Amino acid sequence: MTALEIIKQIESDNKSRGIEPHHAILVEIETIAVMGQQSLALEIVRAELVELLKEKKIKIGDTINSQYIKIL
């Protein structure tokens, strides 16, 4: 599962459960990636996020305790 797929999954889950805001939190993405079936390394996930940011496919911003990621 790629970082983009993880973000889509989290956003979809948040929308279906009525959780606002719908964006994904960096910690959630990293946890799913590491604990998932493919067990991606944090470095790979972070590299994917940097590439997605450069391609302007995601937006990253600060929260109080972490960072949020939203698909554009």
Give the predicted TM-score (pTM) of the model.
0.86
Pairing verdict, β 24-25 and 67-71 = antiparallel
Question: How sure is the predictor about 6, in pLDDT bands with cuts at 50, 70 and 90?
Answer: very high
3-state secondary structure of 49: helix
Q: What is the pLDDT of residue 38?
A: 61
**pLDDT tens digits, residue range 11-62?**
999 999 999 998 999 999 988 888 876 667 788 888 999 999 999 999 999 9
Given CATH 1.10.10, say whether it is the number of domain 3-71: yes
User: What pLDDT is attached to residue 61?
Assistant: 96
Q: What integer pLDDT is reported at residue 8 of this predicted model?
A: 96
Residue 59 host element (H or E)? strand 58-62
What token pair was written down for 30? Answer: 């990293």
* Token output for 1: 């599962």
- Tokens 């949020």 belong to 68
Cβ-Cβ contacts under 8 Å for 72 (sequence gap 6 or more): 56, 57, 58, 59
- Give the pLDDT of residue 42: 82
